[in-house]
Amino acid sequence: MPLSSAPMPKEPSGEVDVVVLGAGSAGIAAARRLLAAGLRVAVLDARRRVGGRAATVALKGHPVDLGAHWLHNGPINPLVRLARARGEPLRQAPGERHLVIGRRFATPRESASLIRTFAQADAAIGRAMRREEDQAAARALPPLGPFGRRVLTVEGLVSGRPFDEVSLHDVPDMDYADNFFMAGGLGAYVARLARPVPVRLGIAARVLDWSGKGVRVETDAGSLRARAAIVTLPMAVLQREGLRFTPGLPIPVREAIHGFVPGVYEHVILHWPDAPFHGPDRLAMLLGGREEPPGLLTRIDGTPFHFFELDLPTASRFDGRDPDAPGRYARAVLADQFGHRAIRTLQVCRSTAWRHDPFSGASWAVVPPGLVAIRDRLKAPVADRVWFAGEALSRAQWGTVGGAWEEGERAASEIAAYLGPKGSDPAFS
Ligand SMILES: Cc1cc2nc3c(=O)[nH]c(=O)nc-3n(C[C@H](O)[C@H](O)[C@H](O)COP(=O)(O)OP(=O)(O)OC[C@H]3O[C@@H](n4cnc5c(N)ncnc54)[C@H](O)[C@@H]3O)c2cc1C
C-alpha cells in the first residue's frame, strides 16, 4: 500500500472552472496553482492513490520508491525549490560511484578513465546539438575507447530507449552532479504536496467532449462540466485512446501525441544487507561478467535496499514471462559477478512493470530522431479549452517529476490568465 493517505472517491457531478485529469506531479501542480488563483477545480485520477509514476511503498518497514526516486537538476527543478521552502528532508546525491570489473573494484585510474569517457560523450553531444541537423543521438558520438559501450548503455538507460532511437536535439543535460534525494521517498513527498488538493480517486476519465462551450468529461461515475480542462495523462495512455476526445483532436495535435515512443526504465528492488557496496546512495556499474547490467543504485538512504535497473532491451526479455523472471535474472547476474556466497542474504522484494501498467504505459515519453518539435506543439491549447501538461511537454526536464510539475504550473497559469483570477488563496501559492 502507498504510504500516502488520500481522500475517497466522490461522484463527479456539477460544474467547475477547470477539470484536471490525472493526479500525478503535473496534475497536482496544476491544481495547486489554479486553487491559488481562486478557481474552482476538480481533479480526477483513475488510480486509488495520488502521485502517478511517483509512488512510495513500505517494504520491510522502509519507504521505497517504485517509480521516480531522484530529484534531478537541482538548480532548475521546481520541486527542489519548493522542498527547500517547505523545509523538506532533502539530501544531495553523492558524486562517488562504484565500478566493478569482474570480481574486483576498479582501480582509481580505471574509474577516472570511465569518468573521462562520460565527459567526452557529453561534450560530443553538446557540440553536435549546436552544429548538426537532428539525427539519432548515438550517431553524434565519436569512438569512445574501452568504456564506450558502457557509456552508450547508460545513456540508453537514462533516456528510456537505446541511444540510437533518441533525438540528438532532445538529449537533456545528464549532469548527475546536482541531484537530490528526499528522505521518506519522492512519491511520499509528491503525495504530501497533494494534501490540499481535492482529488477524486478511482475515477477514470473516458471521454473529453469539447464540442460545445467549455468541456464535458464522462466517467463511469457520471459526468462533469468545466470551462476548461488540463489533460496530464501519459502519452502512452493517450496513444491507446485511454481518453477519447469528441470531436477528435486536430491533426497536428494527434500527430504530436503519436510521435512519442515509450521510454522504459524499471527497478528490481533488492534487499541485500551483505552487499559489497559501501556508502549510501551510490551508483554502481558492473562490467566484465557474462552480462553487463545497465546499472544499480546501492544502499538507498543508507538501508540494505538497492535498485537493480532494467533498460528497454533488458526489460523486454521478460515480456510475456512470469513476474519473477526479472528478479531471477538480477540474482543470476549478481551471483556471476560476486559469487554465490555473496548473495546469500539477497532477497528480491519487487520488480516494477510500469510499461504494462494501464495508467502509465511507459516510464516516460521519448522523442525519436526528427520529431523534436512535438513537445512544444502540445503546449498550445486546443480551442482555448483543452490544455495538455505532464513530463512529456517539458523541454529541459522531460521524463522527470520536476518537468511534469513545471508543465502543470505552466498550463494552470495560462488558464488562470485566460479565465481571469477570482481572488487568490495564499494557502496554495
Ligand atoms: C521506474 C521509474 C523511475 C523513474 N525515475 C525517475 C527519477 O528518478 N526522477 C524523476 O524525476 N523522474 C523519474 N521517473 C519519471 C517520473 O516518474 C515521471 O516523469 C513523472 O512522475 C510523470 O508525472 P506526470 O504527472 O506527467 O504523469 P503521471 O505521474 O503518470 O500522472 C498521470 C496520472 O494520470 C492518471 N490517469 C491515467 N489515465 C487516466 C484516466 N483515463 N483518467 C484519469 N486519470 C488517469 C494516472 O493514474 C496518473 O496518476 C521515473 C519513472 C519510472 C517509471
CA distance 299 to 303: 5
Bridging pattern class, strands 199-201 and 41-45: parallel
User: Percent of the chain scored above 70 by pLDDT?
Assistant: 93
Tell me, what's the pLDDT at 4? 38
R_g over Cα of the chain: 22
Question: From the CA of 394, how far away is ligand 1's center (Å)?
Answer: 13
Cβ-in-10-Å burial (0-12, 13-18, 19+) of 408 comes to buried
pLDDT of 135 > 90? The answer is yes
Confirm or reject: Cβ of 355 under 6 Å from ligand 1: no
Segment 93-109, tens digit of pLDDT = 998 999 999 999 999 99
User: What would the mean pLDDT of 10-36 be, rounded to a whole number?
Assistant: 89
pLDDT of 386 > 90? The answer is yes
Model-level pTM?
A: 0.95
pLDDT of 258 > 60? The answer is yes
Ligand 1 atom 4 nearest Cα:
68
Ligand 1 atom 48 nearest Cα:
52
Nearest residue to 230 via CA among 35, 429, 423, 373? 35
Is 403:232 a contact under the CB 8 Å cutoff?
Answer: no
* Mean per-residue pLDDT of the chain: 93
Strand pairing partners for 165? none
| Locus of grid cell 477514470 | 204
pLDDT of 424 > 80? The answer is no
Tell me, what's the pLDDT at 111? 95
Nearest residue to 224 via CA among 39, 9, 10, 12? 12
Confirm or reject: Cβ of 404 under 6 Å from ligand 1: yes
Tell me, what's the pLDDT at 131? 86
Task: With cut-offs at 50, 70 and 90, classify the pLDDT of residue 36.
Answer: very high
Ligand 1, atom nearest to 405 Cα: 25
Phi, psi dihedral angles at 407 (to 5 degrees)? -70, -35
Question: From the CA of 424, how far away is ligand 1's center (Å)?
Answer: 28
- Distances from the Cα of 141 to the Cα of 144, 145, 177, 194, 338, angstroms: 8, 11, 22, 42, 32
Task: With cut-offs at 50, 70 and 90, classify the pLDDT of residue 174.
Answer: low
H and E: helices and strands count for the chain: 11, 21
Question: From the CA of 263, how far away is ligand 1's center (Å)?
Answer: 12
User: Percent of the chain scored above 90 by pLDDT?
Assistant: 90
Question: From the CA of 112, how far away is ligand 1's center (Å)?
Answer: 35
In one-letter notation, the amino acid at residue 17 is D
Contact residues for 196 (Cβ-Cβ < 8 A; gap 6+): 32, 35, 427, 428
CA distance 205 to 203: 6
Confirm or reject: Cβ of 217 under 6 Å from ligand 1: no
Confirm or reject: Cβ of 234 under 6 Å from ligand 1: yes
pLDDT of 173 > 90? The answer is no
Beta strands, E only, 178-236: 180-182, 199-201, 205-209, 215-219, 222-231
Give per-residue burial for 45-63: e unless 16+ CB within 10 Å, then b: bbbebbbbbbbbbebeebb
Give the right CATH number for 15-58+184-262+362-428 from 3.40.720.10, 3.30.420.40, 3.50.50.60, 3.40.470.10.
3.50.50.60
Tell me, what's the pLDDT at 7? 43
User: What would the mean pLDDT of 384-407 be, rounded to a whole number?
Assistant: 97
CATH 3.90.660.10 correct for 94-178+265-356: yes
Is 98:298 a contact under the CB 8 Å cutoff?
Answer: yes
Question: From the CA of 138, how far away is ligand 1's center (Å)?
Answer: 26
Confirm or reject: Cβ of 69 under 6 Å from ligand 1: yes
Cβ-in-10-Å burial (0-12, 13-18, 19+) of 257 comes to buried
User: What would the mean pLDDT of 123-127 be, rounded to a whole number?
Assistant: 94
Tell me, what's the pLDDT at 268? 98
Nearest residue to 11 via CA among 159, 200, 198, 139? 200
Confirm or reject: Cβ of 160 under 6 Å from ligand 1: no
Task: With cut-offs at 50, 70 and 90, classify the pLDDT of residue 3.
Answer: very low
Q: What is the residue extent of each domain of the chain?
A: 15-58+184-262+362-428, 94-178+265-356
Ligand 1, atom nearest to 392 Cα: 26
Ligand 1, atom nearest to 28 Cα: 25
Query: Across the beta sheet with 305-310, what order do the strands follow?
Result: 104-105, 97-101, 282-287, 295-298, 305-310, 266-271, 347-351
Task: With cut-offs at 50, 70 and 90, classify the pLDDT of residue 429.
Answer: very low
Confirm or reject: Cβ of 286 under 6 Å from ligand 1: no
User: What would the mean pLDDT of 120-136 be, rounded to a whole number?
Assistant: 92
When mean pLDDT is compared across 62-71, 168-177, 205-214, 384-393, the lowest value belongs to 168-177
